[in-house]
Amino acid sequence: MVRDPLASESTPSAEEICSALDDPDCREIIRNLEEPMTASELTNRCEIPQSTLYRKLEVLTDSTLLEESTEIRQDGHHASKYAIAFDEITLTLDEDRSLAVQIERPARTADERLAELWSEVRKET
């Protein structure tokens, strides 16, 4: 099933966000993502073994803290690139004393939305 990339992002639970941010490797990845990077580039920048890095990237993308896109290369060996998908995260205590999370997302241009849509289509083919 393809999610609609033009629709608003679903918000993960406060527990998912806290779990991802509690992980030192996940925080290291976020800290080093100044611009979109491939897993290989992140492995070189962070001191995290590649097999661990891939698991952490999955945790971060599943919790919508990172966004994965596809870099199209002329040689046909396309690569996933990862970018930070939030500007701010706010945790609050609801009336029923449970945690709630709100994620402020960066504004996207039409080109960025089209690139994300294309990336989703490529994943399904």
Tens of pLDDT along 68-89?
988 777 787 788 999 999 999 9
Sequence-distant (≥ 6) Cβ neighbours of residue 10 within 8 angstroms: 64
Taking 70 as the threshold, does the pLDDT of residue 13 lie above it?
Answer: yes
Sequence-distant (≥ 6) Cβ neighbours of residue 62 within 8 angstroms: 12, 16
Mean pLDDT of 109-125: 72
Least confident of 47-51, 54-58, 73-77, 112-116: 112-116
Full DSSP string of 29-70: HHHH-SS-EEHHHHHHHSS--HHHHHHHHHHHHHTTSEEEEE
Taking 60 as the threshold, does the pLDDT of residue 5 lie above it?
Answer: no
Residue 87, both tokens: 């500007």
Distance CA 55, CA 65 (A): 14
Q: Which helix (H) or strand (E) holds 19?
A: helix 14-22
Q: How far, in whole angstroms, is CA 60 from its chain's centroid?
A: 5
